[in-house]
Structure formats: C-alpha cells, structure tokens
C-alpha cells in the first residue's frame, strides 16, 4: 500500500514538473532583422534607456510582471547585429525598508549584452514600493545619455497613474524634465511611453510626454503580448526607412550656333544647381552615394573654372531652430570640405545654413524628412 502511495506521489510530482516546464516555455521572438531588410529599413537608434516604474501602484493587476515581461521580450526581439548602448533605470522606493523615493541604474549605461540585461530584469524583484518619481528618472536618463553620440530612445514602462491626494507622479515635474531633455538633446532624442494598465487619465499624461518630446509615440503593454506585435514595435522604435538615393537633375544643353569644324567648341551646360546630397537623421557625415554625387560636381566645376557654388545645408522639421541651424551648417561644411579636397579652390566654394526653413517636402513623416535632410550645391 505504501509503495502504491509513493508511486502515486512521484507521478503527481512528475506531472507538476512537466506542467511547470510547459508554462516556462522560452520566448521565441520574430526575426526583425529579416523584416527590416525586406522593407529596406535601417537602424536609426544608437542608445536606449528603459525607465521602469517600480512604485507601489505597479503591484495592482499584475502590472509589475507585465512590465517585466514587456521589457524582457523587447530586448530579446532586438536583432543581435544592432550595435547599441543600453541602460535599465528603475524608479520608486528601493526596497521595503527604504524611506525616500529615488531612481537607480539596474544595468548600464553600457554596450547591450542581452543576457546581462535580461538578468537585471529578472533580479529586480516582484514587488514595487513607494511613490512614482518619474521626473527624477527622466533627469537620470539625461545623465545616462551624456557623452554618447548618435540618436537615443527613452522607453518608459509605467502605469502613469496619479494617486489623488498623494501627489504621486507629479505631472508638472515630469513635463519640466521632458522639456529639459529635449533642450539638451534636440532631435537626437525620442521618448516612447508604454502604459501598463488602462487608466484614461494616465494615458493622457503618457500622450503629453510623447507630444512634448516631438518624437515618439504611446503604446499599451497589452498590445505587445505576441512576438509579431513586439516585432512591429521594435521596428518602429529602432528602425527607419533608408534615405532615398539622390536623383541627378537633367542638365539641359543650350543650342550652339553652327561653326566650322576647326572652330567648334564643346557644348555649354547651363545649370543653376548641381547634384544635391542627403544625410541620415541628425548626421552630417557623407554617405558613399553623397561622395559619388560630389565627385560628379567637382568634375563639372573643373570643366567650368569660372563657376562658383554655395553649399546650402538643410534639416528636417524636428528639433529647435538653433539646433537645426548648427546642424545645417555642419552638413554644408562637410560637403564643401569634400569638394575642396577634390581640388576645387576655396574661393569657389562658400556655405550657408537654412536649418529647417526651406523644406522640399512639408509633411510630417519620414519620407518627407529624408528629403529635407540635405545639402544643395547651387551655382552663384
């Protein structure tokens, strides 16, 4: 009898273990890299900082675990070949016995190592404490990004709830810190709030954050539960359309008066503008296709030594006027320097920046922005 009972217990334990293994089935992310190649997308983010709400309100409705799952599956979905700097910053009260609300780095800022990042998510514990110092966390993210080059994304995982009478999340502090971040990083920074929960007032705060950032969008964690949905999110945050190849303008030939063969001269090409070049978001480095276009321009200028050009730097609409004027000048200077390096005399090449004042396309989408991130080479 005892042996039968023992066998029964062993069988029950085995079934329980099998069920547990099935419940912990490994997450299999979708292949974002293949999708990006098929859609002609390129990496647009160089650094990302996940701000994770570990306050007391995140204990409701399993929010903390949902947020952990979202962070973990997002990192697993990021293609392995992307070179990224990353950080995981928590905010709340650090443990049961702590008193003061704070924010602290759980991982990074450092080169993304997925195993280490995922371990940091797992090790943070399953309970939140205290108020929601999101403003402090945003200020901390600004420090995390200092000294890093390229474009950055701040991803905020929170319920964004203001507990009435407690002054919990302090929306004014949040918005002030968003403004300070944008003043510091301009159009190199986008903010992506992910709401955990369905509170409509909290959603409005998340939307205000993205609106003030002028780059980014709000998502709900419930919409990211499948590999396909998470892949779509990762593509939107970390990838963007490849810039179009510059199209060379046809240069009309003015009809020449017929002359005797001995007196024939080469046809004169009358143009007002040479080939323009295009830049990646917030960049002023010359891409291979830009160098080829400038080589053609230098060849034309060599054959027309009496001509001079002004290189006009332009930007898309994102960022402040001051920032874009400086970026436009760097783009113009970069193109002008390359022309001079190709043998065009300095007194034949001048520069000017128009910032975002002269868009070729006026819609607020990446297709238009990519056309406005340019340098025009205009004959004087």
**145/188 same-domain check:** yes
CATH number, domain with residue 46: 3.40.50.410
**281/231 same-domain check:** no
- Give domain status of residue 249, yes or no: no
**108/214 same-domain check:** yes
- Give domain status of residue 5, yes or no: no
**300/214 same-domain check:** no
What Rg, from alpha-carbon coordinates, does the chain have? 28
Residue-number span of the structural domain to which 337 is assigned:
264-379
* Range 34-57 average pLDDT: 95
| pLDDT over threshold 70, residue 97 | no
Q: CA-to-CA distance for 303 and 141, rounded, in angstroms?
A: 53
CATH number, domain with residue 339: 3.30.1330.60
Q: Is 22 exposed, middle or buried (0-12, 13-18, 19+ CB in 10 A)?
A: exposed
Q: CA-to-CA distance for 106 and 210, rounded, in angstroms?
A: 24
Q: CA-to-CA distance for 339 and 107, rounded, in angstroms?
A: 45
**226/343 same-domain check:** no
**352/229 same-domain check:** no
pLDDT reported for residue 374: 95
- Give domain status of residue 84, yes or no: yes
pLDDT reported for residue 253: 52
**96/54 same-domain check:** yes
- E strand or H helix at 227, and its extent? helix 227-238
- Give domain status of residue 2, yes or no: no
What are the phi and psi torsion angles at 269 (to 5°)? -95, 115
Considering the chain, what is the average pLDDT of its residues?
Answer: 86
- Give domain status of residue 252, yes or no: no
**Last residue within a domain, chosen from 241, 274, 308:** 241
**324/190 same-domain check:** no
- Give domain status of residue 271, yes or no: yes
Per-residue pLDDT band for 244 (boundaries 50, 70, 90) equals low
**109/174 same-domain check:** yes
**Last residue within a domain, chosen from 241, 275, 305:** 241
Summarised one tens digit per residue, pLDDT across range 103-153 is: 999 999 999 999 999 999 999 988 888 889 999 999 999 999 999 999 999
Does the model's pTM come out above 0.75? no
Query: In this predicted model, which residue has the larger pLDDT, 322 or 115?
Result: 115
Summarised one tens digit per residue, pLDDT across range 165-199 is: 665 899 999 999 999 999 999 999 999 999 999 99
**77/210 same-domain check:** yes
Q: How many domains does the chain have?
A: 2
- Give domain status of residue 220, yes or no: yes
- Give domain status of residue 72, yes or no: yes
Per-residue pLDDT band for 7 (boundaries 50, 70, 90) equals low
């Amino acid at each position: 009898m005892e042996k039968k009972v023992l066998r029964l217990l062993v069988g029950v334990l085995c079934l329980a273990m099998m069920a547990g293994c099935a419940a912990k089935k490994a997450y299999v992310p979708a292949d974002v890299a293949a999708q990006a190649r098929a859609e002609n997308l390129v990496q647009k983010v160089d650094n990302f900082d996940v701000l994770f709400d570990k306050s007391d309100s995140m204990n409701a409705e399993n929010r903390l675990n949902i947020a952990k799952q979202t962070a973990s599956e997002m990192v697993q979905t990021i293609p392995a070949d992307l070179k990224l700097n990353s950080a995981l910053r928590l905010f709340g009260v650090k443990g049961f016995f702590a008193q003061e609300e704070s924010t602290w780095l759980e991982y990074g800022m450092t080169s993304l190592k997925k195993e280490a990042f995922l371990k940091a998510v797992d090790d943070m514990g399953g309970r939140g404490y205290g108020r929601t110092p999101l403003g402090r966390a945003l200020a901390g993210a600004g420090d995390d990004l200092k000294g890093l080059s390229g474009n950055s994304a701040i991803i905020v995982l929170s319920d964004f709830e203001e507990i009435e009478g407690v002054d919990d999340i302090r929306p004014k502090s949040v918005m002030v810190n968003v403004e300070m971040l944008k003043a510091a990083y301009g159009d190199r920074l986008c903010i992506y709030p992910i709401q955990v929960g369905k509170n409509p007032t909290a959603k409005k705060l998340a939307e205000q954050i993205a609106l003030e950032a002028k780059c980014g969008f709000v998502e709900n964690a419930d919409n990211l539960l499948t590999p396909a949905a998470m892949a779509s999110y990762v593509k939107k945050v970390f990838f963007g359309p490849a810039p179009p190849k510059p199209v060379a303008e046809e240069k009309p030939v003015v009809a020449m008066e017929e002359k005797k063969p001995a007196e024939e001269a080469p046809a004169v090409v009358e143009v007002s503008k040479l080939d323009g070049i295009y830049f990646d978001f917030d960049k002023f480095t010359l891409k291979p296709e830009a160098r080829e276009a400038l080589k053609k321009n230098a060849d034309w200028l060599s054959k027309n030594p009496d001509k001079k050009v002004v290189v006009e730097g332009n930007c898309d609409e994102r960022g402040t006027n001051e920032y874009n004027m400086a970026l436009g000048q760097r783009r113009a200077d970069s193109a002008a320097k390359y022309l001079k390096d190709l043998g065009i005399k300095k007194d034949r090449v001048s520069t000017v920046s128009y910032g975002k004042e002269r868009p070729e396309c006026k819609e607020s989408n990446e297709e238009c922005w990519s056309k406005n991130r340019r340098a025009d080479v205009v004959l004087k």
